[in-house]
């Protein structure tokens, strides 16, 4: 919990800063406070000046906005610096460096997350404490008084959602603690604030029931039923109905969130005469959400919807799907095909004919007479070539007041009635479904397709339905795997089909893409070509930098707007951009240039020069987060850089080597280090450091080859007398760790530690000296000298607090807590574990969280909270299975789970778990696995052996060791159930 002695920036109400003495800090006017609020909201990510202007002023900023931002930032610095905080600048980006300044929005999210984890892992008391703390931070409406600031409305939505979830979970936790009266009071307030939330009503009714008031519980459910019916026209969901029956029967279980209720049924339109429609194309799939959106807009008075997207994206198919759905509901619908129609008069005549009107002197009047005021829908397909398309649509709408027009086009029409609805590529699962439908049509004898192959193939084609259909045609003569391999080499040129029954413009994905590119102006097309060098997503800063290159580049933001509007460039929710994969492949194939890679490499070098050094110290998490935005650009450079560029790419990888650790991407980082170390053209300096880095990272991910690679690299580094750096010092520490952990060779561990200290001392770098010192504690721990290990860890904690490096502090807190557990100082250990648990919330979910959960489960075990320990280790096994695989963590987690299970009296189950834990650790080269267990785990194991006896215990150990993965799978299956 944040100390009350700290200054605090409040977002969850009016944006204000309260100094440590309780006085208000002057922050200036509305827009200046809005800039501060935006930077706090973005923290720990930087925000460019353009992003700040868009956020604070929106689409119509003042001409002086850029200078005004600088003035505001200068004023905010004057207010923040006396508090130990600041607004820093890197290039064109600003970052709130909060320092000791508490930010209530950050504390709120952290408390909510901790409360949810505690509730999930069987600690309702802790959950109540953290969720109560979170709710208390809320002081009304977030960003109060800033309703006119553009970013405020969207920012409030996730905060309100998190707040609602926290209040719901708080009631749940109160019920689990048996505090029914408190739950009733909270529930009454919650349903008053959120009368349509069925989970709130369910929790309130359950609370009344648990307080012994069955009548009040049933009255609550009746109130819920009336509210939902009167206000929304809905019946209560199945969970409320079930809960009512359970209350009547006295069989109420622990409360669970109710399933979301069904949407309100559409009102039945009046029947109108039907007109025959073209048949719906085969393979219509994956568009239910956008169809629902279309039907809703048509039903609520939207008169013109324009379905926009590149050729082949499925606009016509979607429009026909809409037509058939509306007709099935009794709406009168016609389709007018306008492909190739240029003249407005001819287009109007085609529309009239679609209504069964021919040879009319005045087609518009005839259309109006035919339709009248009755509801009707016109689908006007392929209008992008039509001159004055907007005027044609407006004229038809004016002639028939009851008419809704749905157009399909590659671009906006910009008439006053238009609602532009972009048609996105198919989602991954729907794209695979479509591919399998086409394969079944063209090659019915092929009864099985590898789902992974189909998914990768559809991803390479960008989820474009036309591309997927054309690719499936090739399955007549290729297997899907062969098709995927060839598509990787020529994603566009391969997908050309002759003899097709489709229109000529759709015989080739190349022609479709060229047609879409042809709608762009020169700056937008040039920008896309430059972006095509990146395999994946690029941040705005990189897109702007690349867009400003070359002759006559124009405004990069205008080019981005144009490309996104043409749907050739995807925009993520986090503000990054990605070329549609086949568009990227096409641009590389026809127009790729060496200078594009050079420009990308230069941009990556610049951001690495800033973020690399910052990944050690107080801004390490922020710097790693920035590199995460640049991940795809970085890996694109690492993939393609050869010759002299390989040397530069290697230097970038060395400079940013800590990124892979901080973002839990060690396995990926290891692959890149190995790849770069073998690349031709590297200097000995870069090659050898890369080899050391590859060996270190291989050890981190439990690769048995890592030690030998590392040993070879360090020997070469010594022979070349390379200047010491963090890679070399850490390499010696990692080699020593292998000796200490796997081989129990404490003499070799000491030798490696001495080498690390010599290099660190020669560097004169305090951080490297501290790194080598910390290894002394690690080696002492594994040699059994717990007092020395604890003393070294505590010295390291002091240094880490001073430096502000959160990762080092986290690891040292855990190291010290481990020694305290071995020394029997459980209460002291728990204090450090809890600090580490709070600190882990500042990192993205990853290996840091896994390690903290492991230590926390040991702490829970040591303090007799055995059920909570089982819950923690189960969550930990789920994390390692689904996202962060690590055999050490799996083995240790199984051991702690076994100990907690034994303490709960389930000794046979515990022995099986220990057998699995031992085998997992032996498989990665661990010897004497029992020697490294905390005393509390070993004590439980000895007790189980005593209870079961030697023969039964050995038999159960063998059962667990026979197939650890099967045991883990069963645990996780039970957990999900």
> Do 627 and 496 share a domain, yes or no?
no
Which pLDDT does position 504 carry in this prediction?
Answer: 45
Strand order in 102-103's β-sheet? 24-25, 16-18, 8-10, 102-103
Between CA 373 and CA 860 the distance in angstroms is 71
Is residue 2 one of the residues assigned to a domain?
A: no
> Do 452 and 524 share a domain, yes or no?
no
Return the closest-CA partner of residue 651 out of 627, 634, 626: 634
Is residue 335 one of the residues assigned to a domain?
A: yes
Is residue 742 one of the residues assigned to a domain?
A: yes
Higher pLDDT, 231 or 333: 333
> Do 671 and 535 share a domain, yes or no?
no
Return the closest-CA partner of residue 705 out of 737, 727, 676, 738: 738
Between CA 776 and CA 779 the distance in angstroms is 5
Is the predicted pLDDT of residue 955 greater than 80, yes or no? yes
> Do 399 and 438 share a domain, yes or no?
no
Beta-ladder partners of 87: 96
Is the predicted pLDDT of residue 442 greater than 50, yes or no? yes
Confidence of residue 242 (pLDDT cuts 50, 70, 90): confident
- Average pLDDT on 484-510 reads 58
Specify the 3-state DSSP secondary structure of 404.
Answer: strand
Q: Give the chain's mean pLDDT.
A: 87
State how far the alpha carbon of 141 is from the alpha carbons of 10, 13, 157, 271, 695, in Å.
11, 5, 11, 46, 52
> Do 444 and 387 share a domain, yes or no?
no
Beta strands in 228-383 (DSSP E): 304-308, 332-337, 376-381
Strand order in 332-337's β-sheet? 332-337, 376-381, 403-409, 304-308, 418-422
Q: Using one digit for the tens of pLDDT, what is the confidence trace for 468-478?
A: 888 888 888 88
Is the predicted pLDDT of residue 794 greater than 90, yes or no? yes
Between CA 90 and CA 606 the distance in angstroms is 11
Which pLDDT does position 528 carry in this prediction?
Answer: 92
* Percent over 70 (pLDDT), the chain: 94
What residues contact residue 94 under an 8 Å CB cut-off, 6+ apart? 39, 46, 47, 48, 49, 52, 73, 87, 88
Buried b (16+ CB within 10 A) or exposed e, 402-414: ebbbbbbbbbebe
Confidence of residue 791 (pLDDT cuts 50, 70, 90): very high
Which pLDDT does position 258 carry in this prediction?
Answer: 31
- In the numeric block, the tokens 């789970």 are attached to 897
Which pLDDT does position 803 carry in this prediction?
Answer: 92
> Do 435 and 546 share a domain, yes or no?
no
Of 189-193, 245-249, 513-517, the least confident: 513-517
Is residue 308 one of the residues assigned to a domain?
A: yes
Q: Are 690 and 673 in contact (CB under 8 A)?
A: yes
Between CA 830 and CA 835 the distance in angstroms is 9
> Do 676 and 531 share a domain, yes or no?
no
> Do 873 and 939 share a domain, yes or no?
yes
Which pLDDT does position 663 carry in this prediction?
Answer: 92
The CB density around residue 498, as the number of other CB atoms within 10 Å, is 7
Between CA 699 and CA 354 the distance in angstroms is 70
Final residue of a structural domain among 102, 126, 153: 102
> Do 340 and 452 share a domain, yes or no?
no
Of 35-44, 431-440, 774-783, the least confident: 35-44
Which pLDDT does position 93 carry in this prediction?
Answer: 80
CATH number, position 747? 1.25.40.10
Alpha carbons within 13 angstroms on the beta-carbon side of residue 25 total 25
Is the predicted pLDDT of residue 681 greater than 80, yes or no? yes
Is residue 951 one of the residues assigned to a domain?
A: yes
Final residue of a structural domain among 102, 117, 151: 102
CATH number, position 81? 1.10.10.10
Q: Using one digit for the tens of pLDDT, what is the confidence trace for 475-490?
A: 888 888 988 887 776 5
Higher pLDDT, 235 or 637: 637
What residues contact residue 467 under an 8 Å CB cut-off, 6+ apart? 312, 461, 495, 509, 582
What's the pTM? 0.64
Between CA 219 and CA 214 the distance in angstroms is 9
Which pLDDT does position 319 carry in this prediction?
Answer: 93
Which pLDDT does position 507 carry in this prediction?
Answer: 52
Strand order in 86-90's β-sheet? 47-48, 93-97, 86-90
> Do 549 and 609 share a domain, yes or no?
no
Is the predicted pLDDT of residue 158 greater than 80, yes or no? no
Is residue 135 one of the residues assigned to a domain?
A: no
CATH number, position 885? 1.25.40
Q: Are 74 and 88 in contact (CB under 8 A)?
A: no
Is residue 121 one of the residues assigned to a domain?
A: no
The DSSP call for residue 496 is: B
What residues contact residue 618 under an 8 Å CB cut-off, 6+ apart? 803, 804, 805, 806
Of 259-273, 658-672, 801-815, the least confident: 259-273
> Do 342 and 417 share a domain, yes or no?
yes
Final residue of a structural domain among 803, 835, 870: 803
Return the closest-CA partner of residue 727 out of 819, 653, 618: 653
Is the predicted pLDDT of residue 268 greater than 50, yes or no? no
What residues contact residue 767 under an 8 Å CB cut-off, 6+ apart? 616, 726, 803
Beta-ladder partners of 325: none
Structure tokens at 177: 């603690």
Is residue 115 one of the residues assigned to a domain?
A: no
Confidence of residue 269 (pLDDT cuts 50, 70, 90): very low
Q: Output the CA torsion sign for 828, 831, 832, 837.
A: positive
Q: Which long-range contacts (CB under 8 A, 24 or more apart) does 442-450 make?
A: 442/472, 442/473, 442/475, 442/476, 443/475, 443/476, 446/475, 449/480, 450/480, 450/481
Is the predicted pLDDT of residue 331 greater than 50, yes or no? yes
CATH number, position 557? 1.10.10
- Average pLDDT on 810-816 reads 95
Query: What is 894-935 written as a DSSP string?
Result: HHHHHHHHHHTT-HHHHHHHHHHHHHHHHHTT--SGGGGS-H
Q: Are 142 and 155 in contact (CB under 8 A)?
A: yes
Which pLDDT does position 45 carry in this prediction?
Answer: 66
Domains contained in the chain, number: 7
Helix residue spans in 551-629 (DSSP H): 556-565, 581-591, 594-614, 620-629
Strand order in 569-571's β-sheet? 537-538, 577-579, 569-571
Phi, then psi, of 400 in degrees rounded to 5: -135, 95
Q: Structural domain of residue 212, as residue ranges? A: 179-254
> Do 303 and 241 share a domain, yes or no?
no
Which pLDDT does position 122 carry in this prediction?
Answer: 74
């Amino acid at each position: 919990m944040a100390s009350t002695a700290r200054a605090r920036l409040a977002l969850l109400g009016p944006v204000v800063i309260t100094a440590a003495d309780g006085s208000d800090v002057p922050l200036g006017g509305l827009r200046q406070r809005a800039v501060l609020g935006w930077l706090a909201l973005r923290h720990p990510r930087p925000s460019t000046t353009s992003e700040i202007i868009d956020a604070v002023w929106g689409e119509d900023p003042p001409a002086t906005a850029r200078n005004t931002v600088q003035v505001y930032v200068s004023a905010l610095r004057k207010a923040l610096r006396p508090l130990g905080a600041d607004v820093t600048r890197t290039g064109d980006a600003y970052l709130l460096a909060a320092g000791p300044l508490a930010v209530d929005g950050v504390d709120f999210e952290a408390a909510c997350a901790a409360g949810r984890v505690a509730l999930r892992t069987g600690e309702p008391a802790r959950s109540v404490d953290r969720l109560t703390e979170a709710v208390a931070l809320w002081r009304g409406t977030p960003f109060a008084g800033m309703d006119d600031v553009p970013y405020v409305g969207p920012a409030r939505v996730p905060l309100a959602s998190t707040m609602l979830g926290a209040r719901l979970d708080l009631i749940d936790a109160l019920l689990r603690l048996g505090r029914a009266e408190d739950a009733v009071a909270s529930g009454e307030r919650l349903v008053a604030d959120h009368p349509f939330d069925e989970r709130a009503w369910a929790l309130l009714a359950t609370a009344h029931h648990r307080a012994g008031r069955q009548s009040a519980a049933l009255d609550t459910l009746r109130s819920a039923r009336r509210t939902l019916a009167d206000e929304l026209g809905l019946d209560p969901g199945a969970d409320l109905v079930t809960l009512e029956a359970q209350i009547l029967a006295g069989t109420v279980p622990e409360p669970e969130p109710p399933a979301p209720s069904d949407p309100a049924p559409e009102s039945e339109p009046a029947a109108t005469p039907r007109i025959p429609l073209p048949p719906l194309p085969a393979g219509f799939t994956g568009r239910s959400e956008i169809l629902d959106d279309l039907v809703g807009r048509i039903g609520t008075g939207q008169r013109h919807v324009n379905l926009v997207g590149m050729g082949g994206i499925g606009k016509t198919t979607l429009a026909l799907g809409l037509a058939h759905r509306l007709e099935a509901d009794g709406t009168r619908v016609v389709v007018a095909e306008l492909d190739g129609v240029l003249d407005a008069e001819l287009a109007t005549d085609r529309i009239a004919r679609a209504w069964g009107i021919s040879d009319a002197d005045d087609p518009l009047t005839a259309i109006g007479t035919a339709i009248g005021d009755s509801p009707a829908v016109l689908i006007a397909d392929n209008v992008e070539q039509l001159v004055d398309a907007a005027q044609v649509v407006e004229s038809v709408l004016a002639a028939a007041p009851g008419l809704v027009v749905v157009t399909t086009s590659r671009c906006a029409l910009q008439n006053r009635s238009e609602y532009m609805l972009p048609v996105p590529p198919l989602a991954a699962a729907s794209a695979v479904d479509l591919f399998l439908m086409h394969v079944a049509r063209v090659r019915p004898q092929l009864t099985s397709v590898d789902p992974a192959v189909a998914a990768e193939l559809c991803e390479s084609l960008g989820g474009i339905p036309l591309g997927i259909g054309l690719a499936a045609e090739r399955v007549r003569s290729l297997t899907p795997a062969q098709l995927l391999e060839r598509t990787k080499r020529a994603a566009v040129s391969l997908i050309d089909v002759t003899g097709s029954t489709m229109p000529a413009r759709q015989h080739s994905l190349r022609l479709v893409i060229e047609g879409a590119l042809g709608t762009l102006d020169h700056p937008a097309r040039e920008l896309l070509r430059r972006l095509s060098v990146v395999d994946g997503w690029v941040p705005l800063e990189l897109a702007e930098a690349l867009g400003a290159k070359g002759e006559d580049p124009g405004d990069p933001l205008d080019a981005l707007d144009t490309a996104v509007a043409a749907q050739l460039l995807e925009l993520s929710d986090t503000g990054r951009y990605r070329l549609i994969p086949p568009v990227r492949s096409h641009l590389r194939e026809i127009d790729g240039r060496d200078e594009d890679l050079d420009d990308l490499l230069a941009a990556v070098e610049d951001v690495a020069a800033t973020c690399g050094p910052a990944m050690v110290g107080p801004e390490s998490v922020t710097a790693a987060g920035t590199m995460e935005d640049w991940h795809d650009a970085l890996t694109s450079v690492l993939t393609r850089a050869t010759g002299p560029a390989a040397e530069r790419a290697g230097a970038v990888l060395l400079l940013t080597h800590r990124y892979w650790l901080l973002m839990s991407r060690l396995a990926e980082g290891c692959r890149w280090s190995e790849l770069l170390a073998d690349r031709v053209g590297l200097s000995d300096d870069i090659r050898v450091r890369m080899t050391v880095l590859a060996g270190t990272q291989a050890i981190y991910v439990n690769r048995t080859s890592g030690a030998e690679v590392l040993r070879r690299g360090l020997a070469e580094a010594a022979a070349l007398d390379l200047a010491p750096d963090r890679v070399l010092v850490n390499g010696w520490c990692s080699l020593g760790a292998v000796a200490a952990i796997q081989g129990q060779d404490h003499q070799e561990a000491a030798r490696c530690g001495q080498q690390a200290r010599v290099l660190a001392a020669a560097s004169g770098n305090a951080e490297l000296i501290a790194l080598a010192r910390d290894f002394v504690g690690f080696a002492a721990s594994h040699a059994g000298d717990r007092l020395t290990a604890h003393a070294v860890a505590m010295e390291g904690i002091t240094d880490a607090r001073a430096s502000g490096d959160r990762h080092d502090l986290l690891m040292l807190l855990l190291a010290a807590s481990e020694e305290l557990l071995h020394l029997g100082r459980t209460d002291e250990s728990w204090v450090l574990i809890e600090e580490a648990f709070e600190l882990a919330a500042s990192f993205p979910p990853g290996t840091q969280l896994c390690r903290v959960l492991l230590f926390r489960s040991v702490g829970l075990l040591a303090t007799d909270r055995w059920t909570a320990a089982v819950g923690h280790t189960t969550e930990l096994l789920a994390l390692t299975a689904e996202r962060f695989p690590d055999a050490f963590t799996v083995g240790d987690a199984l051991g702690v789970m076994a100990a907690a299970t034994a303490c709960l009296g389930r000794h046979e189950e515990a022995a099986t778990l220990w057998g699995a834990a031992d085998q997992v650790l032996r498989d990665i080269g661990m010897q004497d696995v029992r020697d490294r267990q905390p005393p509390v785990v070993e004590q439980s194991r000895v007790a189980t052996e005593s209870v079961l006896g030697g023969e039964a215990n050995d038999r159960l150990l063998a059962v667990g060791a026979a197939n650890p993965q099967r045991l883990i799978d069963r645990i996780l299956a039970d957990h999900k159930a």
